[in-house]
Amino acid sequence: MSNSPRNAYLVMAVGGILILGLVGWALMRSFNAPIESRLPVVPGATAAPVPEHVQDPEHAAVPRISVDDLHQKLARNEVTLIDVRDADSFRALHIAGAAHIPMAAIEGQVQYLPKDKPIVTYCT
């Protein structure tokens, strides 16, 4: 009987180590997983310079445009701008004229987005 509590602690310790290892492995895999997008890609969009810590445009799933290009296109009403951040961030500050559709809800809203011009999304 004296071995029973000791065995239970040993089993819990080994189980805890295994769980931590599996969680660590899953986190490493999720950070290295490719990001896929089912949103349409705008042909001919120009890529903006991207800081080193951000995925480079050649490997990006969706083309990027520069801030200057965005301002010009917004002034000419050539794009639809969507802020995909959370509601608090949008309320705190957003680009004038941007629609708010949180990233978690974007797939459910695709059918309602305008089809007559390119869509530009932004976040922080």
What is the tens place of the pLDDT at every residue in 47-79? Answer: 555 454 455 556 566 778 888 899 899 999 999
What's the pTM value of the predicted model, to 2 decimals?
A: 0.51
d(CA 53, CA 51): 6
Q: Is CATH 3.40.250.10 the right assignment for the domain spanning 57-122?
A: yes
pLDDT in tens, 3-23: 788 888 888 888 889 998 888
- What's the pLDDT at 76? 93
Q: What are the angstrom distances between the C-alpha of 86 and each of 30, 49, 71, 104? A: 22, 26, 23, 9
Is pLDDT above 80 for 119?
A: yes
110-117: average pLDDT: 88
φ, ψ for residue 36, nearest 5 deg: -110, 145
| Residue ranges covered by each domain of the chain | 1-33, 57-122
